[in-house]
Structure 1
Amino acid sequence: MIKGRGAQKQVKNRFLMHEYVQEHLEAIDEFDGQNPNTKYIPIFPKTIVNKVESPDVGMTYSLNPYQGCEHGCIYCYARNSHEYWGYNAGLDFEKVIMYKESAPQLLEKHLQNPNWQPSTIVLSGNTDCYQPLEQKLEITRKLLAVFLKYKHPVGIITKNVTITRDLDIIGPLADLNLISVYFSLTTLDESVRRKLEPRTASAARKLKAIETLTKRDVPVNIMIGPIIPGLNDHEIPDIMKAASEAGARSASYTMVRLNGAIGQVFEHWVQEAFPDRASKILNQIKEAHGGKLNDSRYSTKMRGEGLMVQSINRLFELSKAKYFQNTEPRPKLRTDLFVKTNKGQMGLF
């Protein structure tokens, strides 16, 4: 396997008629994915806040400072979006990262729009806002400063402990009930994590980050996302117990879904990573989605269906009742504090 990468191959971009390949003179294909280097490309969008149309996602607006993600999570539904940029959902998604340095200025412009009514904007609706490049560029940190300046509600979805770096901004947002954090925690087994999501933090460091945020009174919720039957479904009770002990307030989950090119990427990966149980994993994923890897049906694609899914849901609910019975419910973020200003007005803290 290619060390430090989730996808183990390039796949064809469905929107491109032609593609470039490297070949030996003997006509044996040369796999160009052995180079671990990542390419970073600045892009210059005109707007930054996206209206979320899908009823399954659980958010109304999202903001993504990065396209592509170096975390390399093999299951990531955002892989398909890389095809719109002329790249592919395989190794390109992890090796070609586009970033939006103008995002904070665009967010401020958006919040200054006279027609904007405050509503929670979620960072990382597509790719992780705290992926490795954030340590250098600090785009997410600057975005959070804008949210604090305008006293506007914000949500964060991440699996990276870099979030604790920004407690000096996240803490004051939490004091005003303007932020909620969703930490993705998929497995406690390091041998699985290193293959499943190779450039994320270890489970121990994620739990420590949850503890750190909680001690600062930041509301943290966990997402077991995704549950992959035959791989991590048996870990549900242990994950929820560990998260609860670290201070998480609530838990939720999604079932793995392999839409578009992700099915091809995942199928190749699971044969490489877990050859002894690849068939079982793939068959159980199909069982959860009407016999197919690719499930685009609203209301079922995130949850799955069938007897096996019912058993997983029952295990989750029992674990939730056991480990989260005394935790506080997720607070509804405030919108009444929003300070709408004219461009250039200062002194909003």
Structure 2
Amino acid sequence: MSAGHPAVLTVTPNPSVDRTLELDVLTRGEVHRATGASVEAGGKGVNVARALALHGARAAAVLPCGGVDGELLVGLLAPQRVEVVPVAIAGAVRSNTTVVEADGTTTKLNEAGPQLSGPEVEALLRTVRARLTVAPRWLASSGSLPPGAPVDLHARVVRLGRGSGTPTAVDTSGAALAAAVEAGPDVVKPNLEELCELVARELLTVGDVRAAAAGLRARGCGDVLVSLGEAGALLATAEGTWWAGGPPLVPRSTVGAGDCTLAGYLHEQGPAPRRLATAVAWGRAAVLLPGSTVPGPEQTAAGAAGVRVVPDPDPETPVKDLKP
């Protein structure tokens, strides 16, 4: 791991302990015997930090922490070289359960999370502000909001970053994403469904996605990285628009793949097409691993095999038909 200050400071307002069960086939109402099981530290920003740390980057994770699962969460992160910055709360960290079938079908059962009080929200923001004084290269605010958190919490984090001169990235959804967009993050990473919800229309073609991304940029966002699942990802920046994808994969688990995509984008310091290719390679590597396991350098190098970057992709191409 490199010496010095954290390369990336992540903020996860609603972290979790993620329990994953692997089954041949899930049948509602039946008793099942798992073929595999794992327990991981979870939450979108936590996953970003874990993936970066595994690639030798210094990563720190700010997160509300309380209860027995809060202690477990910190314990799970300890051997992963992530610097944990806990903010004490009265409630207990949530526990999420994911069921993954042999064909890659994923069923997620997510708890809402602990109720955050006003003082606890302010303590979280004070902690972020204090950690920004060490000048990380990126500030990434990610994931759902727990009950009681203001809808503009991610937006407030973005403003703290902007005030300190730290580039910011956001990965969230719904009203929290809409509020964060107005704060002008340097990178925003919606998936296709989240982008459709944000712009309130279906996005069926590459042109539709490009137009929606251009709309976000017109509202003050910087780079717009749209993850498209098995269809790869599309990137819109001030320099242009690119699509990247690779050969079809049989996923083992899709949990955390989008987080690894963002981690790869933040880790790469080259030109935009290279950042996009790295992001897609990290996401592809993640879906081949169980549960919310994040890929290391060997897996991401393998994930890069066959990834192709296409500048100015044909706007008439349906998203579902995108191929390398």
TM-score by length of 2: 0.42
Judging by fraction of residues, say which structure has more strand: 2
**What's the TM-score, normalizing by structure 1?**
0.39
Higher relative contact order (CA 8 A, sep 6+): 1
Q: Answer with 1 or 2: which has the greater Rg.
A: 1
